[in-house]
Amino acid sequence: MLDKIIHMHEDKTEIYTAVITTSVIFMMVASGLIFLVIVYNNRKKKHIEEKIQLNLIFEAEIAKTQLEVQEQTMQTIGADLHDNIGQLLSLTSLTLNSIELADIAKAKQKIDASIDLTLRSIKEMRLLGKLLQGDQLIVLGLAEAIRYEISWLERSGKFVISYLQDDELPAAGNPDKDLILFRIVQEVLNNIIKHAGATQIGIKLGYAEGILQLSINDNGVGFDVDNLPVEQRGMGLQNIQKRAAIIGGEAAIISNPGAGTNITISIQYP
């Protein structure tokens, strides 16, 4: 009888244990799943915050680039006013001042020369007027903006510039990407003017399978990309790479001392 009671008590304990264990396991599974949902949701929050942060950085970079493009335009205008239009107008003034009315034949010659100088000044002013539109160049599209930038550079007569543009370029561009790419072109051209000592510049704008490729090369002095001293590294190259990364692209810089430089930027477009 006692044995039977002990046996029954053991059975009951086993059932208790089984029921409690099963309930605890089921509850843990349920709580675990809820915990997973909460963890995933928190990660989602972090991801959204990072996305917002990246967007803010992107917008700040776009604003900065816009300012830089404007600044570059102002510099070009300043230089042109000083070097070109200023000289033309000074010359016009000198020519007009030197007119002697007694010698009509010579005076006529000088007046004609002054008219010619004035017309050239007007032509220069018109070109400057176009340049003053600055950002609006981008509205015309990246290809047109680059073409305009090149035409300005060609006028210096120091460079032979070739510009190849792919016919396949999408009609509807991406204004933000266009602006950043245009600024990169300006920055590269500035570097060539200041440091490369080049005589030939080649620019190619290609497009294939949703990838836009902008390639700029020169026949200048070049440099050793891997062993460029920190003080010579400058902000130019770093900026180019940073900006290309901001629009989801990458910049490949190939250069060797004495063998010129080739910079290629590839991005998904538009």
Partner 1 sequence: MLTFPFYLLAEWVCFIAAVLLVSNLNNYLHTIRYYLCFVVIVESICYYLAWIERVNNQWLYNIFILVEFSYGIWLYYNFISFKYFKPIIIFFCILFFSTYIFELVSYGGISTFFNRADTIESVIIIGLCMLYYYTLFQQEEYINLSEDPIFWIVSGSFIFYTTSIGLDTFFKKLVEVRINHSISLRYIIMNLLNIILYSCWIKSFICMRIKQKSIRPL
Chain residues in the site for partner 1 (CB under 8 A): 12, 15-16, 19-20, 22-23, 26-27, 29-31, 33-34, 37-38, 40-41, 44-45, 48
Distance CA 197, CA 195 (A): 6
Nearer of residues 43 and 123 to partner 1, judged by Cβ: 43
* Smallest separation, CB 22 to partner 1 (Å): 5
Nearer of residues 14 and 112 to partner 1, judged by Cβ: 14
Cα–Cα distance list, 100 to 36, 106, 116, 118, 137 (Å): 96, 8, 19, 19, 46
Nearer of residues 39 and 122 to partner 1, judged by Cβ: 39
Nearer of residues 6 and 35 to partner 1, judged by Cβ: 35
Sign of CA dihedral 172, 218, 198, 243: positive
Sheet holding 160-165, edge to edge: 160-165, 200-208, 211-218, 261-268, 250-255
* Smallest separation, CB 21 to partner 1 (Å): 10
* Smallest separation, CB 40 to partner 1 (Å): 6
* Smallest separation, CB 34 to partner 1 (Å): 5
* Smallest separation, CB 53 to partner 1 (Å): 14
